Amino acid sequence: MAGLVAAARLRELGHEPVVFEKGTRPGGSMLLSSCVPWRHREFEQFREECPDGDEALQRLVWERFDDAIDWLERTTRVEPVWDDTENPLTTGRRFDPLVLTEALVDRAGPIRFSEPGPTRVDFSPLILATGGFPVRIARERGLLRRSNRWSEGDGLDTARSLGAATAGDLGEFYGRAMPAPPARVSEQDYIDASQIYGRLARHVNELGEPFFNRRPAWHESDLAQAIARQPGGTAWLVLPRVALDTDRVRAVRELGGTVLVEGKRIRVHVGVGVTHTLGGIRVDTRARALRDDGSPIEGLYAAGVDVGAIASGGYASGVAQALVLGLVAAEAASS
């Protein structure tokens, strides 16, 4: 989302940007998502749910979101699937991810696939929009991947090599409880296989110990991170047997995962799929990459979840962050 939006906006402003795509297709992790850019209805809710985030960047995303959505619909001419989020705490749109990706590609211009990304020496200005480093953190911590397979942290590494500082906790991520191996979860299963009923379950680790003795947040990313800290990065969700027939639990069985029936209870074996990281490159409200002393690096910008410390301590829409910062980075690079 971030790279395609930035390119589309730059072209709109009269420039001829080139998108370097590490993968073999466009769309990144947006293509694998529910594709719901959203914001909290009230800014105070945003601050309360993501208390460790950079307030200035949070306000930037929150304040520019509505105009950014209008720009997206006007520019792509893609109609939303939903006109709102069905969540009383949030507002936004849901789009068909494939339709939106194709429309953005049409407006972004040339894309070079399967090429290593350039450095600032090669291109200036340069906008980094590589989807964070979920693949790297999943591999290092023995977790599952719930993102595109190319987001290994190239943007973060490039920014660091050019003197940029980081922001937020580089070990923090947004993720979902997913069927644990031997389940085989493909990219097409990421949405339907997510086990998002933790508020109804008891949570027990592999040692049989309760480890999450509170109600998960509505997004349940806090539960996913707690599971990731357990032995083996896996756990059991214990539910009334009636849950055996729900779509989410049925998906575990269909994908080859483990569901145990124990009298009036069932136990669902889950791991954690990492969707995107929350820590990343330090930027200002013009999306300019910053050094440790707070000074901007000339010609270097970052957008999307390559940027750190926006949803820190909680959860906010990564797609919204990509949309808004893609526009901001493009406009700053154009000026």
Q: Does 114 share its domain with 142?
A: yes
pLDDT on residue 236:
98
The parent domain of residue 78 ranges over 2-168+278-334
pLDDT tier at 116 (50, 70, 90 boundaries)?
confident
Q: Which long-range contacts (CB under 8 A, 24 or more apart) does 71-78 make?
A: 71/9, 71/327, 72/5, 72/37, 72/100, 72/323, 75/8, 75/12, 75/107, 76/100, 76/103, 76/104, 76/107, 77/103, 78/103
Residue 330 has pLDDT above 90, yes or no: yes
Mean pLDDT confidence for 189-214: 95
252, 274, 296 - which closes a domain: 274
Q: Does 292 share its domain with 268?
A: no
pLDDT digits (tens, 9 = 90+) for 167-189: 999 999 999 999 999 999 999 99
Q: Does 23 share its domain with 152?
A: yes
Number of domains in the chain: 2
Q: Does 223 share its domain with 270?
A: yes
pLDDT higher for 323 or 124? 323
Q: Does 232 share its domain with 123?
A: no
For the chain, give the mean pLDDT.
96
pLDDT on residue 123:
77
Q: Does 7 share its domain with 118?
A: yes
CATH at 315 = 3.50.50.60
pLDDT on residue 121:
65
Q: Does 286 share its domain with 218?
A: no
> Among 4-8, 117-121, 199-203, 210-214, which is the least confidently predicted range?
117-121
Smallest CA-to-CA distance from 100 within 125, 81, 83, 78 is with: 78
pLDDT on residue 270:
98
Residue 115 has pLDDT above 90, yes or no: no
Q: Does 301 share its domain with 159?
A: yes
pLDDT digits (tens, 9 = 90+) for 297-310: 999 999 999 999 99
pLDDT on residue 117:
77
Q: Does 49 share its domain with 133?
A: yes
Q: Does 262 share its domain with 321?
A: no
**Do 193 and 178 meet the contact criterion of CB atoms below 8 Å apart?**
yes
Mean pLDDT confidence for 147-164: 96
* CA gap 140, 310 in Å, rounded: 23
Q: Does 142 share its domain with 209?
A: no
pLDDT digits (tens, 9 = 90+) for 217-244: 999 999 999 999 999 999 999 999 999 9
> Among 85-99, 116-130, 139-153, 172-186, which is the least confidently predicted range?
116-130
Q: Does 21 share its domain with 154?
A: yes
274, 298, 322 - which closes a domain: 274
